[in-house]
Amino acid sequence: MKDLDKATIIGAGVIGASWTALFLAAGARVAVFDPQPSAERAVRDYVAGAWPVLERLGMTGRGDPDAVSFHASAAEAVEGAGFVQESVPERIEIKHEIYAQFEPALDAQAVVASSASGLTLTEMQAGWRDPARFVLGHPFNPPHLIPLVEVMGNDRTDPSAVDRAEAIYRDAGKVTIRVNREVPGHVANRLQAALWREAIHLAKEGVASVEDIDKAIWAGPGLRWAAMGPTGIFNLAAGPQGLAEFCRRYGPSFHRWWDDLGDPRMDDETAQMLADGIAEATGGRSTAEIGAERDTLIVAIQKATAPLRR
The footprint of ligand NAD (CB under 6 A) covers 10-16, 33-36, 39, 74, 87-90, 94, 98, 115-117, 138-139, 141
Inter-residue contact 143 to 153 (CB < 8 Å):
no
Closest CB 260 distance from ligand NAD, rounded Å: 31
Closest CB 95 distance from ligand NAD, rounded Å: 8
Closest CB 204 distance from ligand NAD, rounded Å: 25
Closest CB 31 distance from ligand NAD, rounded Å: 12
Residues paired with 175 in a beta bridge? 148
Q: Provide the CA 46 distance to its chain's centre, in angstroms.
A: 17
Inter-residue contact 16 to 42 (CB < 8 Å):
no
User: What burial class does residue 269 get, using C-beta atoms within 10 Å of its C-beta: 0-12 exposed, 13-18 middle, 19+ buried?
Assistant: exposed
Q: Which residue is nearest to ligand NAD (CB)?
A: 13
Indicate the residue among 16 and 82 with the shorter CB distance to ligand NAD: 16
85: enclosing H helix or E strand:
strand 83-86
Indicate the residue among 14 and 300 with the shorter CB distance to ligand NAD: 14
Inter-residue contact 142 to 114 (CB < 8 Å):
no
Indicate the residue among 73 and 241 with the shorter CB distance to ligand NAD: 73
Closest CB 139 distance from ligand NAD, rounded Å: 5
- DSSP assignment string, 146-171: --EEEEE--TTS-HHHHHHHHHHHHH
Indicate the residue among 77 and 213 with the shorter CB distance to ligand NAD: 77
Nearest-CA neighbor of 140 among 100, 175, 89, 178? 175
Indicate the residue among 30 and 74 with the shorter CB distance to ligand NAD: 74
